[in-house]
Structure 1
Amino acid sequence: GFEECWLSGRLLDPQHLVVLLPHYLDDHAEPEVLLEKVGRAGVITMNRPKVLNALNLTMIRQIYPQLKKWESDNETDIVIIKGAGDKAFCAGGDIRAVTEAGKVGDSLAQDFFREEYILNNAIGSYRKPYIALIDGITMGGGVGLSVHGRFRVATEKTLFAMPETAIGLFPDVGGGYFLPRLQGKLGLFLALTGFRLKGRDVQRAGVATHFVESKKVPCALSVQLFTSDALQGRMKGRGVVEVLLFSVSCPNSVRLFSASSVEGIVKNLKTDGSEFAKKQTETLSKMSPTSLKITLKQLQAGASLSLQDVLVMEYRLSQACMRGYDFYEGVRAVLVDKDQNPKWNPSTLEEVSDQMVEQCFSSLGEKDLTL
């Protein structure tokens, strides 16, 4: 069962992808989102702890209008978003439901991505301080609910990852915007491999803006971390905290991802031959070749685009994945049959042509995302 998988630690394996959780375990007796005012703060609590607060369309449709209401409300100074339970902020989107919809042509395959990205954009352009308490697992859709906001507070329990290439998807929810803006090639490394950042490394990498011990989060929120200056928006110019030199196992190891093609990155890793390089080579060999190539182009393009333009691009990519093969095969292997042995098509990087990748970025015409 779910709890047994969690307690055994196997759920933390990137190949098990906690970012992609089935929706059928949810307890519908409880509201899926709690929306409340605490003083002059609007507080959003994702309330699906049994599935690590996985985000579904119902939740999106509750959060978005409330965010817009609080943004124009003179009685609300800040917005705080957090997850219920002690394991996760939000482990991702309810991808299994999207998969089933995509198979039968149900509109959820369009609606979920479209409305999720509109919510991501609203967070990225929010006029009031937006504080995400990323205490626990923060992946996929949970990343989209946090990284675009002004403040992201990590704790020792934070586990951050974007492991979508393992199921034939790509790091969406604005990943094409924030990942290439991390230091060096760190964002590309995280995007291609699904590598998990933990605790203080989440702040050091520039994903979080603050680090607070989990037990001190309530106190920090009330009196220490967010001063009146912050509430008045004077800290906005600081942006992301200064990124420290990030190293996985040796200094500058992420430099191996400095290549213009996925094949070039793999060649760099094989030539390097270090234990780190061998591990990343093995990881990449398990990922969807199509997803890897789409992701590289996504981050290359996103580095010079606005968040809005990135989300338009990513919506096109999401629908290409819905039309394709690898997404359904990846979800089958990871979530349904759980054999962890997807049969990708094409099965090698060499078979994924530039033309195939380009087609995924093509305009959807009147069906394009509009922000």
Structure 2
Amino acid sequence: MKNVESTPDTDMLIRRSLQRLSVVFQHVKMTSSYNFSTSAPDDVILETIDTKGVITLNRPKVLNSLNLSMIRKIHPQLTAWENEPLTTMVIIKGAGDKAFCAGGDIRAVTEAGKVGDRLSQDFFKEEYMLNNKIGTYEIPYVALIDGITMGGGVGLSVHGMFRVATERTLFAMPETAIGLFPDVGGGYFLPRLGGKLGVYLALSGFRLKGRDVLKAGVATHFVQSDKLADLEKSLLAMENARAHDIGEVLYKYQSMSTDIPDTDFVLEPHIEEIDRLFNGDTVEEIVHNLKMEGSEWAKKQLDTLSKMSPTSMKITLRQILEAETMTLQDVLVMEYRLSQHCVEDHDFYEGVRALLVDKDQSPKWNPATLEKVTPQKVDWYFSPLPEERELKL
């Protein structure tokens, strides 16, 4: 993407955007000396209240970022509740008022990958197994996605039956900015948002806020944050918590959430452009479409894409296009292969360095241009792992 036009104003906007992302990403990391077996006893709180299970992600100082310790507590508890005939509902929420879950321990994974620690395999594998459990859960699952919800936090919520956004919800899948791809089943839900919205969100990392998370189809309901405590009480008080009845309670609280203005979908003015310009079989085709369009909006998208990892964008587009007709299980198997090849390659480490470690916001991608990311390189990312390392669901 050498020929993307750049101006001081657009460069400044992109730098600011990357800096905002780095503020989020820097919380999503291990905070000590990378003892990969670290497990805090209260990093997630699991409660059984009457016939309901309640999960509280309890790392508010790091925006409730998801680590392997939490995954290994949540997954078996979900299984136990599912096997308990009396359990009628599971609620998952985040501690504090800033985040549901800002993502996974990205920096810990890259630090582990550098030294060959198993965390770089185990984290992704066990996280995706948890995502699959949520996506196939037989009990109504209610995620209260209040605050920042990115990456791993999306995986903990979007595959469940109910996702409740608030005015504080900030949703994004910004992985192409750090040399990764929208994982945790992103390949499954993004192409199912309709049109090319999922492709656009995945390649650009565009952030959705508040009611727009509902309007995009990521959330199922919107409830203003000052009503969440009462909503939870109402859910826990339900005697007959069937899916239909839970939906009625959520809709009741949504209908009462009128203090937050209901405006048009933020991307509504550009939906036609998104569906037309991001409709391509290759990233090069999408870039060409944007260049030919020539509008100010199209130029902004080119500036944004020019900052992303070319390799990440290519594997992301293929991921989403192939996943349109795949089951969640097949998508997660594919994504696990992608994750392990990211750990074996360059850009994931470089993206984390640029945004989290040195924080210079200037990643040096390799290859540096779309043209140099060969079809063979992309094929390698999707290639099977040794049988003993494949994800089995």
Give matches, 1:99-248, under 5 Å.
99-223=110-234, 231-234=241-244, 247=267
The amino acid across from 2:289 in the alignment is N
* SS at structure 2 position matched to 1:18: helix
Counterpart for residue 274 of structure 1: 295
Cα pair distance change 1:364/1:222, threshold 3 Å: same
Pick from 48, 71, 82: which aligns with 1:37? Answer: 48
- The worse-fitting range, judged by mean Cα deviation, of 38-47 and 302-311 is 38-47
**Deviation, structure 1 residue 183:** 1.2
Cα pair distance change 1:290/1:25, threshold 3 Å: same
**Deviation, structure 1 residue 40:** 1.7
The amino acid across from 2:298 in the alignment is A
Write out the 4+ residue segments of structure 1 that deviate beyond 6 Å after TM superposition: 9-12, 25-30, 224-229, 235-238
Percent identity over paired residues: 63
The amino acid across from 1:92 in the alignment is G
**Deviation, structure 1 residue 365:** 3.0
Residue 290 (str. 1) matches residue 311 (str. 2): yes
Counterpart for residue 28 of structure 2: 21
**Deviation, structure 1 residue 76:** 1.6
* SS at structure 1 position matched to 2:117: coil
Task: Write the distance in 2 (CA, Å) between the matches of 1:121 and 1:13.
Answer: 30
Task: Write the distance in 1 (CA, Å) between the matches of 2:265 and 2:98.
Answer: 28
Residue 368 (str. 1) matches residue 379 (str. 2): no
Q: Which runs of 5+ in 1 are unaligned?
A: 1-8
Counterpart for residue 337 of structure 1: 358
Task: Write the distance in 2 (CA, Å) between the matches of 1:310 and 1:11.
Answer: 28
* SS at structure 2 position matched to 1:252: helix
8 Å Cα contact 2:196/2:274 also seen in 1: yes
The amino acid across from 1:310 in the alignment is V
Task: Write the distance in 1 (CA, Å) between the matches of 2:334 and 2:247.
Answer: 27
Task: Write the distance in 1 (CA, Å) between the matches of 2:159 and 2:27.
Answer: 21
8 Å Cα contact 1:130/1:150 also seen in 2: yes
8 Å Cα contact 2:49/2:236 also seen in 1: no
**Deviation, structure 1 residue 260:** 1.2
Task: Write the distance in 2 (CA, Å) between the matches of 1:356 and 1:291.
Answer: 11
* SS at structure 1 position matched to 2:219: coil
Task: Write the distance in 2 (CA, Å) between the matches of 1:330 and 1:338.
Answer: 10
Normalization by structure 2: what TM-score? 0.85
Task: Write the distance in 1 (CA, Å) between the matches of 2:226 and 2:122.
Answer: 38
Cα pair distance change 1:305/1:226, threshold 3 Å: farther
* SS at structure 2 position matched to 1:250: helix
* SS at structure 1 position matched to 2:25: coil
Task: Write the distance in 1 (CA, Å) between the matches of 2:328 and 2:247.
Answer: 17
- The worse-fitting range, judged by mean Cα deviation, of 168-177 and 259-268 is 259-268
* SS at structure 1 position matched to 2:329: helix
Task: Write the distance in 1 (CA, Å) between the matches of 2:31 and 2:210.
Answer: 30
Which structure ranks higher in relative contact order (CA pairs < 8 Å, sequence separation ≥ 6)?
Answer: 2
8 Å Cα contact 1:92/1:140 also seen in 2: yes
Cα pair distance change 1:360/1:79, threshold 3 Å: same
**Deviation, structure 1 residue 246:** 7.0
- The worse-fitting range, judged by mean Cα deviation, of 118-127 and 26-35 is 26-35
Cα pair distance change 1:246/1:185, threshold 3 Å: farther
* SS at structure 1 position matched to 2:383: coil
